[in-house]
Amino acid sequence: MKQRGLLLVISGPSGCGKGTILKELLAVQEQIYLSVSAATRRPRDGEVDGVHYYFMSKEQFQAEIDSDGMLEYTCYCDNYYGTPRKPILEHLEQGDDVILEIEVDGALQIKKQYQDAILIFVMPPTLEELEQRLIGRNTEDSQTIQKRLLRAKEELKLVGHYQYIVINQTIEDAVKDIQSIIRAEKCHYNPFLNCETQPKSK
């Protein structure tokens, strides 16, 4: 019997390094699919439609919600972000592990629907460092950076809902931490998997 893939949710404040960690993880981990979200914000320099996000208007986003096309969605700093349902379910069925890189509200929506989803929170070493990283990457104006920092503080309050915390001291260690989590989760006993090996009822 084919084993369903793991559903991994990775959150962490904007600027904590999630994107870089996931890029490195994908380069070394097999059979893993990174979900491409839909978003109504403007693409940053170098971002490609269909690769980094499916960039869409608010109307298109609403149409996706109305047709039940989103597994979860939220409004984050004045823009909508959501996870397209179909590719996630298909990859899980194929046995691929699936990663959603989403914020806290979306992560909690996923956990409600899939109790076996694995929630991982990536932390910056300090809030000061987070601010420096947000300023340093030069992709947002100062007002947006302040909004994102406020949101980060709110998100940090909800870290107790996550099963794992990864502190991004170095990208290399953070990637290893996530690989270890995946490995451990694959060894977890799950009574709903491999049902043939369970004792049959009389």
Q: What single-letter amino acid sits at 175?
A: V
User: Quick one: which segment of 72-80, 111-119, 121-129, 166-174 binds ligand 5GP (CB under 6 A)?
Assistant: 72-80
Instruction: Supply the Cα-derived Rg of the chain in whole angstroms.
Output: 18
CB of 84 to ligand 5GP, least distance (A): 8
- Interaction with ligand 5GP in 79-118: which residues (CB under 6 A)? 81-83, 101-103, 105-106
Q: Does 5 bind ligand 5GP (CB under 6 A)?
A: no
CB of 8 to ligand 5GP, least distance (A): 13
Residue number, 45 or 196, with CB nearest to ligand 5GP:
45
Whole-angstrom CA distances from 202 to 86, 137, 193, 199 are 39, 63, 20, 9
Both structure tokens of 61: 């986003």
Q: How many CB atoms lie within 10 A of CB 134?
A: 23
Q: Does 41 bind ligand 5GP (CB under 6 A)?
A: yes
Closest CA relative to residue 22, chosen from 138, 156, 179? 179
CB of 103 to ligand 5GP, least distance (A): 4
CA pair distance 160, 26, nearest whole angstrom: 26
Binding site for ligand 5GP (CB under 6 A): 14, 37, 41, 72, 74, 76, 81-83, 101-103, 105-106
